[in-house]
Amino acid sequence: MQYDLCKFICPLSKIKAVQVIDNLAEGETAQLILGDTDSLRSVVQELKTRGIKPGFEKKRENRFVLTIIK
């Protein structure tokens, strides 16, 4: 599933990302789309804390896609 979090800025983007992660079933994949570098850093740090290594793709100047598997 794809979750567009571009309209949220940190810390709300991180809170929304945590909700997505918490609701994923084991082995499920999600794409988190973020719209600024502060949100990107914050969400990546949260994923590292949880032991999740995301795939990363920069779509545009301010559009980042993290692909995660729980």
Would you place residue 17 in the very low, low, confident or very high pLDDT band (cuts 50, 70, 90)?
A: very high
Tokens of 2: 């794809």
| pLDDT score, position 11 | 95
| pLDDT score, position 4 | 98
| Domain extent at residue 35 | 2-69
Domain count for the chain? 1
For 28-65, write each residue's pLDDT tens digit: 999 999 999 999 999 999 999 999 999 999 998 899 99
Mean pLDDT of 3-20: 97
| pLDDT score, position 19 | 98
| pLDDT score, position 60 | 86
CATH number of 32's domain: 3.30.110.40
